[in-house]
Amino acid sequence: MTSTDHTGSGDLARSLELMWGLDRKPTRGPKPALTLDRIVGAGIAVADAEGLDALSMRRVAAEVGAGTMSLYRYVPGKAELLDLMVDKVNSPCESEFPPGLGWRGALERVARGIWQMYNRHPWLLNVDQARPVLGPNSLRALELTLAAIGDAALSDREKMTVLTIIDGGYVSGMARTHFNAKHAAQRTGVSDEQFWAAQAPILSAAMTSGDYPELAALSQDSFTADGEGEFEFGLGLLLDGLEAFVERRT
Amino acid sequence: MTSTDHTGSGDLARSLELMWGLDRKPTRGPKPALTLDRIVGAGIAVADAEGLDALSMRRVAAEVGAGTMSLYRYVPGKAELLDLMVDKVNSPCESEFPPGLGWRGALERVARGIWQMYNRHPWLLNVDQARPVLGPNSLRALELTLAAIGDAALSDREKMTVLTIIDGGYVSGMARTHFNAKHAAQRTGVSDEQFWAAQAPILSAAMTSGDYPELAALSQDSFTADGEGEFEFGLGLLLDGLEAFVERRT
DNA sequence: CTTGAATCGAGTACACCGTACCCGACTCGC
DNA sequence: GCGAGTCGGGTACGGTGTACTCGATTCAAG
């Protein structure tokens, strides 16, 4: 599984207008039979149920019971549809942060929230979000997060850097590894056991060859990973490091 | 840019055979005009130069001056070609680790090596490697890494976990964010300045709306990111946390 | 109430993709 | 020599995003 390119959101301005609902309604003409929301929702439903590669304009159109080309009355193209799907799914933590959580608790909460968002919508992991399109939901999430870590003794720029490192870097990377593997099983019909069994012969041949002494000496349980546990462990390490950094400077 | 699905390497066993050179040569028939290496190399060249979405069987065939379907004499399909490309690119650090580096130094070195690998081959970031196909190069890299961090007071399983967290999680995630953004500019022809300028009107409207007080109060330089610097900073935090963990238990 | 401009849904068509299937040409072991 | 096995690669099918087009609908203006 690799990444389908949409060209980085062909018409960014149009995406933003649609996200923020800035298109002025026409007065003449027939009533639209569809809604932008319904289309975006259908796209999310398809991606959730069948993965990103099953998301096609024809498929979404069929889902809402319309002709394929009718979608283009609401959305400039597939890239923009994806932008809209991302922001819709990116709704901030339902409950606000409980007060008095402290910056470390808030960062943990945000990290786990993102982790669970990727669990609900694994297709998000394969959407290039390097250039974030700032929709209302994404912006709201950032706003709430900034408010919750206000007590950290960091500059504004450092706070943004920390968010990039933890959320954009660590959490996304770990989630990608973990959930892609998890969903690969059902998507391909090849279970984890089957997958590793297929590699076993080559692996054991490599072990006994003597070319890989370190690998050969590894204890048996080294390859059985507990994704969630590893995620929490690494998050702890990262926050420990950050805590030391903050204390060191005060 | 999103992720094109190959179905998780349709024929894993065949991929492994090709990687390890286990196919027994036929004795009858004409001499092959192509080489597996040449095809894989051409694929890498195309992906390096024009991105993952430009990588098609027809494009690779044209690159090596052959008919499209001729490639299927050497490779079962596109998924397996990608597997081969990944392992070929995944050659371990050219120079071995200098002795006496210590586990922390070794982990830093590995992390930076991966970072630079992603810099050279940004398409790698959009290949799903959740289920790693263990080719000779990948295995060699793991072997060398394990040898270099042998002095860490960690169990075998913990070492693997640490590698997953740092390399599979943090480094990959940060590299994805950074290099996808970096190459989005040239791929789409929209510079970073243009990209942010397009969002500026909506952003400033949101700021002045009063709905986003925290965002509005951010200092001006908060959005100017230094990817490499952020990467090093986060890596330091992670390793600080790990160092504390190791010392705490001894 | 009529009329025309604007907007609707959607069919057709094109260029691209991965690849199943097939066949003629080549080359060696017998 | 000759036939089995392997080579290159052409053709064709079902999929993709979407440009272009056109008839049907609806409201504002006369």
**Core vs surface per residue B123-139: b (16+ CB within 10 A) or e:** bbbbbbbbbbbbbbbbb
* Amino acid A205 CA to nucleotide D29 C1' distance, rounded Å: 85
Q: Give me the number of domains chain A comprises.
A: 2
Strand C within 7 A of A67 CB: yes
DSSP assignment of B86-131 equals HHHHT---SSPPPTT-HHHHHHHHHHHHHHHHHHH-GGGGGB--SS
**B147 in the same domain as B26:** no
Tokens of A62: 């069929």
Judge whether A2 lies within some domain.
Answer: no
Residue A4 is predicted with a pLDDT of 47
Residue A5 is predicted with a pLDDT of 46
**A66 in the same domain as A24:** yes
* Amino acid A80 CA to nucleotide C10 C1' distance, rounded Å: 21
**B77 in the same domain as B124:** no
B3 beta partners: A3
Judge whether B188 lies within some domain.
Answer: yes
Q: In this structure, what is the dihedral angle of CA atoms B113, B85, B137, B178, given to the nearest 10 degrees?
A: 20
**A148 in the same domain as A76:** no
DSSP assignment of B33-94 equals SS-HHHHHHHHHHHHHHH-GGG--HHHHHHHHTS-GGGGGGT-S-HHHHHHHHHHHHT---S
What values do phi and psi take at A99, rounded to 5?
Answer: -65, 155
For residue B4, name the pLDDT band (cuts at 50, 70, 90).
very low
Residue A244 is predicted with a pLDDT of 96
* Amino acid A48 CA to nucleotide D14 C1' distance, rounded Å: 24
Burial of B205 (0-12, 13-18, 19+ CB in 10 A): exposed
Residue B28 is predicted with a pLDDT of 84
Residue A50: CATH number of its domain: 1.10.10.60
pLDDT digits (tens, 9 = 90+) for B65-123: 999 999 999 999 999 999 999 999 987 666 678 888 899 999 999 999 999 999 999 99
Per the CB < 8 A criterion, the answer to whether B179 and B119 are in contact is yes
Report how far Cα A144 is from the mean position of its chain's Cα atoms: 18
**A222 in the same domain as A112:** yes
Judge whether B6 lies within some domain.
Answer: no
Residue B139: CATH number of its domain: 1.10.357.10
Q: Of B89, B123, B147, which residue constitutes the final position of a domain?
A: B89
Q: Closest Cα to residue B1, out of A166, A2, A207? A: A2
Residues at the strand D interface (Cβ < 7 Å): A 10, 27-31, 55-59, 68-69, 72, 77-79; B 26, 28-34, 66-70, 72-74
Distance CA B39, CA B52 (A): 15
Range of the domain at B68: 12-89
Average pLDDT, whole number, for chain B?
Answer: 89
Tokens of A124: 């998000």
Per the CB < 8 A criterion, the answer to whether A242 and A162 are in contact is yes
DSSP state of A72: G
Report how far Cα B70 is from the mean position of its chain's Cα atoms: 29
Distance CA B132, CA B6 (A): 14
Judge whether A70 lies within some domain.
Answer: yes
* Amino acid B190 CA to nucleotide D9 C1' distance, rounded Å: 40
Instruction: Answer whether B139 touches A (CB < 8 Å).
Output: yes
Judge whether B2 lies within some domain.
Answer: no
**B160 in the same domain as B40:** no
Residue B17 is predicted with a pLDDT of 87
Distance CA B17, CA A50 (A): 31
3-state secondary structure of A49: helix
Distance CA A171, CA A177 (A): 10
Taking residues B9-38, what's their average pLDDT?
84
Tokens 């819709």 correspond to what residue? A88
**A211 in the same domain as A151:** yes
Alpha helices in chain A (DSSP H): 12-20, 36-50, 57-64, 78-89, 102-120, 136-148, 156-163, 172-188, 192-208, 213-217, 227-249
* Residues in contact with A51: Cβ distance below 8 Å, sequence separation at least 6, in sequence order: A122, A123, A183, A187, B5
Q: Of A89, A116, A141, which residue constitutes the final position of a domain?
A: A89
Distance CA B13, CA B133 (A): 10
| Tens digit of each residue's pLDDT, chain A (250 residues) | 454 444 456 678 888 888 998 877 788 878 899 999 999 999 999 999 999 999 999 999 999 999 999 999 999 999 999 999 999 998 766 667 888 889 999 999 999 999 999 999 999 999 988 788 899 999 999 999 999 999 999 999 999 999 999 999 999 999 999 999 888 887 777 888 888 888 888 888 888 998 999 998 888 787 877 889 999 999 999 999 999 999 998 8
Judge whether A97 lies within some domain.
Answer: no
User: What residue has its CA nearest to the C1' of D6?
Assistant: B29
Strand C within 7 A of B27 CB: yes
Residue A26 is predicted with a pLDDT of 80
Strand C within 7 A of B25 CB: no
Distance CA B248, CA A237 (A): 12
**B220 in the same domain as B157:** yes
* Residues in contact with A95: Cβ distance below 8 Å, sequence separation at least 6, in sequence order: none
| B225 contact residues in A (CB cutoff 8 A) | 160-161, 164
Q: Closest Cα to residue A183, out of A114, A125, A229, A112? A: A125
* Residues in contact with B193: Cβ distance below 8 Å, sequence separation at least 6, in sequence order: none
**A31 in the same domain as A147:** no
Distance CA A222, CA B78 (A): 31
**A218 in the same domain as A140:** yes
Strand C within 7 A of B72 CB: yes
Judge whether A72 lies within some domain.
Answer: yes
**A233 in the same domain as A123:** yes
pLDDT over 50 (residue B62): yes
**A78 in the same domain as A20:** yes
Judge whether B71 lies within some domain.
Answer: yes
**How big is the CA angle at A196 (ends B17 and A204), to the nearest 5 degrees?**
65
3-state secondary structure of A77: coil
Q: Of A65, A89, A113, which residue constitutes the final position of a domain?
A: A89
User: What residue has its CA nearest to the C1' of D16?
Assistant: A56
Strand C within 7 A of A73 CB: yes
Q: How many CB atoms lie within 10 A of CB A84?
A: 24
pLDDT digits (tens, 9 = 90+) for B192-245: 888 888 888 888 888 899 999 999 998 878 887 788 999 999 999 999 999 999
